[in-house]
Amino acid sequence: MDFEFTEEQKMFRAAVRDFLKTECPPKLVRQVEDGGLKEFLPTYRKMGQLGFLGVAFPEEYGGAGGSWLDLALLCEEAGAALAPNIH
């Protein structure tokens, strides 16, 4: 049994990591901590435009058609970047 990520998953993880490194720096996280989630909304919108927020939803419902593992990779990278959680 192979437990390695596929090339597509590695590319997705790298894309999420690069995006969050640029769009969710520690300064922004501190601003959110001090001023509320409104500081993060532009970044959150960009995440939606890139398909990150619908990664595990089927394409016929407007999602990216990814897997639960893709969602886990997204969550892992968001956690590593300390990205705020919007409910």
Write out pLDDT tens, residues 12-54. 999 999 999 999 999 988 888 888 888 888 999 999 999 999 9
* pLDDT for the residue 13: 96
For residue 86, being part of any structural domain is answered with: no
Q: What is the pLDDT of residue 59?
A: 94
Q: What is the structure's pLDDT at 38? A: 84
- Tell me how far apart the alpha carbons of residues 18 and 38 are, in angstroms, rounded to a whole number: 22
Q: What is the mean pLDDT of residues 58-75?
A: 94
- The total of structural domains in the chain comes to 1
Q: Is residue 54 part of a domain?
A: yes
pLDDT at residue 69, as a whole number:
94
Per-residue pLDDT, 87: 55
Q: Give domain status of residue 41, yes or no.
A: yes
Flag whether 87 is in a domain: no
How many residues would you count in the chain? 87
In a domain, 73, yes or no: yes
> Any idea which residue has 């720096």 for tokens?
25
Whole-prediction pTM: 0.86
Domain that residue 65 falls in: 7-80
